[in-house]
Every structure is written in structure tokens, then in C-alpha cells.
């Protein structure tokens, strides 16, 4: 049966990937607007990169008009900066993630990304982690206003390409309540994994369909229900 599994990146496929992503956002803002900003006091976990850039600038006193005017250029700079600086991430892959992707590929399951990362940043991370080969496509930060919108885009694209049909099981794996809520908003199976910064107890409060300590614990029966 055709099926689809969507993955978040940070905290789900990778953890402790280093400061390079945040540094790219800060430097992009500086290059484009001349303003000094920081991700301090921005709750970046579970956020989309565009929202992080917006909050950084609001905290620095910028107007929403200035942010809107410069967003596209800031995104472009952030991606190019990160692509130059991204370290080797193979040692940062979360427990069980590589084996799960391998098993899904052997079964012919379509796999993709739904992530708050910008497109080129997300793909660069996957390339440097040695996971790119397992992932067919993705829905990234700049494509929708929120994570539920990204899931909607990803599911619609998979159906359009004929990778899945109306009866196909679909699951979203993530480490944050935003991932659980995005799955529920799209009526897809929510798999919560406690390898990010949000603990298992807090994840459980949001009632995912499945909650596991890490991806080594996830069975195919739990994944597809």
C-alpha cells in the first residue's frame, strides 16, 4: 500500500547541530538591514525561520514594514551563509533515525520533510548528515504561514505526484507540540519523539497518536496504525 511519512528536522532527525543556523540568521539580518539582533529571548524551538527573523527584528525595534520589505533578501542571505558554513552532521543524527529512513526506503514508502528550516538550509543539513538520499521532497519554512500549512502542502504534493492516494496512511514525526498540532489539523497520524528539547511529559499532554523516547523504539505497526 502507498504510504507517506513526513519528518521534522531539528530534534527529530538531528540534535545539537551547532550554532551555525542561528548565526546565519543573525548575520543575514546584519548584512541586509544593518541591525544587530540576537536569537536570545526568541523561543526558536518549533518556530519557522521566517517567524524567528521577524521576532529578532521586532525585539530590536524594527517595524513590520521594514521586516516585510527585507524578508526575501534576508532569507536568501541566511541560506547562502549556512550553506558555506554547515559542518559535518553525521554524528548529530538522532538515535534510530538513519535506520528508520533506511527501512522505509526498503519498503518503498515515500518520505519527506516538514520543517521550520528554510529550504536550502534544510537540504544542506540532510546532505551533511548523510540522510539526503532517503528523502524525496520537503515543505519548508518560507512556503506557508505555519506548520499545519506545510503539512497541507506536503500531502497535497504527494497526492498530485501519485505517490499516495486518498486511502494512503500518512504520518508526521516530530519532537514539538507544534508538530503534533499540525498533524491533527491535517488529520494525519502524529508520532511524537522525545529527542528534542521538549520532554515526554509535555509532549504527552498534547495527545499524539504515538509517543516514543527515540526512533529506535518506533515499530512499523505504531507508525502506520
- What gap in Å lies between CA 188 and CA 128, rounded to an integer? 29
Going by C-alpha positions, the residue among 48, 62, 33 that lies closest to residue 146 is 48
3-state secondary structure of 80: helix
Tell me, yes or no, if the pTM score tops 0.85. yes
- 76: confidence class by pLDDT, cuts 50, 70, 90: very high
Q: What is the pLDDT of residue 197?
A: 87
Residue 21 has pLDDT above 80, yes or no: yes
Do 4-16+91-224 and 20-85 come out as alike in CATH topology? no
User: Measuring CA to CA, which residue among 33, 13, 46 is closest to residue 206?
Assistant: 46
- Selection from 120, 224, 110 nearest residue 171 by Cα: 224
Residue 161 has pLDDT above 90, yes or no: yes
> Contact at 8 Å (CB) between 12 and 40?
no
Sign, Cα dihedral of 34, 68, 47, 86: negative
pLDDT of res. 16: 86
Collect all residues with Cβ–Cβ distance below 8 Å to 97 and sequence separation of at least 6. 12, 13, 14, 131, 215
Summarize pLDDT for 115-145 with one digit per residue, the tens: 999 999 999 999 999 999 999 999 999 999 8
Query: Cell digits for 34?
Result: 544593518
16-42 b/e with 16+ CB inside 10 Å = b? ebeebbbebbbbbbeebbeeebebeeb
3-state helix, strand, coil in the chain (%, to 5): 50, 10, 35
Q: Helix or strand or coil: residue 7? A: strand
φ/ψ of residue 58, rounded to 5: -60, -40
Domain ranges of the chain: 4-16+91-224, 20-85
Q: What gap in Å lies between CA 157 and CA 32, rounded to an integer? A: 33
Right CATH number for 20-85 from 1.10.150, 3.30.410, 1.10.10, 1.10.3470?
1.10.150
Q: Select 4-16+91-224's CATH number: 3.40.50.1000, 3.20.20.210, 3.30.950.10, 3.40.50.2000.
A: 3.40.50.1000
Using CA atoms, how far apart are residues 115 and 27, in angstroms rounded to an integer? Answer: 21
Q: What Rg value do the Cα atoms of the chain yield, rounded?
A: 17
Confidence of residue 101 (pLDDT cuts 50, 70, 90): very high
Predicted local confidence at residue 225, as pLDDT: 84
Residue 224 makes CB contacts below 8 A (sequence gap 6+) with 3, 169, 171, 189
Amino acid at each position: 500500500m502507498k504510504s507517506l511519512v513526513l519528518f521534522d528536522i531539528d530534534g527529530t532527525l538531528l540534535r545539537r547541530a551547532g550554532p551555525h543556523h542561528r548565526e546565519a540568521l543573525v548575520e543575514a539580518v546584519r548584512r541586509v538591514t544593518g541591525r544587530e539582533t540576537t536569537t536570545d529571548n526568541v523561543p526558536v524551538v518549533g518556530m519557522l525561520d521566517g517567524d524567528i527573523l521577524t521576532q529578532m527584528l521586532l525585539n530590536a525595534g524594527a517595524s513590520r514594514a521594514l521586516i516585510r520589505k527585507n524578508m526575501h533578501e534576508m532569507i536568501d542571505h541566511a541560506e547562502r551563509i549556512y550553506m558555506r558554513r554547515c559542518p559535518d552532521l553525521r554524528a548529530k543524527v538522532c538515535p534510530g533515525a538513519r535506520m528508520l529512513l533506511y527501512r522505509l526506503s526498503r519498503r518503498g514508502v515515500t518520505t519527506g520533510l516538514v520543517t521550520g528550516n528554510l529550504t536550502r538550509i534544510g537540504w544542506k543539513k540532510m546532505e551533511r548528515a548523510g540522510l539526503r538520499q532517503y528523502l524525496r521532497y520537503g515543505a519548508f519554512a518560507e512556503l506557508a504561514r505555519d506548520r499545519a500549512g506545510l503539512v497541507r502542502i506536503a500531502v497535497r504534493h504527494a497526492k498530485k505526484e501519485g505517490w499516495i492516494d486518498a486511502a494512503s496512511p500518512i504520518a508526521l514525526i516530530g519532537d514539538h507540540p507544534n508538530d503534533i498540532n499540525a498533524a491533527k489539523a491535517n488529520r494525519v497520524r502524529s508520532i511524537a519523539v522525545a529527542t528534542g528539547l521538549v520532554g515526554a511529559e509535555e509532549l504527552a499532554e498534547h495527545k499524539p497518536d504515538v509517543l516514543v523516547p527515540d526512533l529506535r523504539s518506533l515499530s512499523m505497526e505504531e507508525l502506520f496504525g
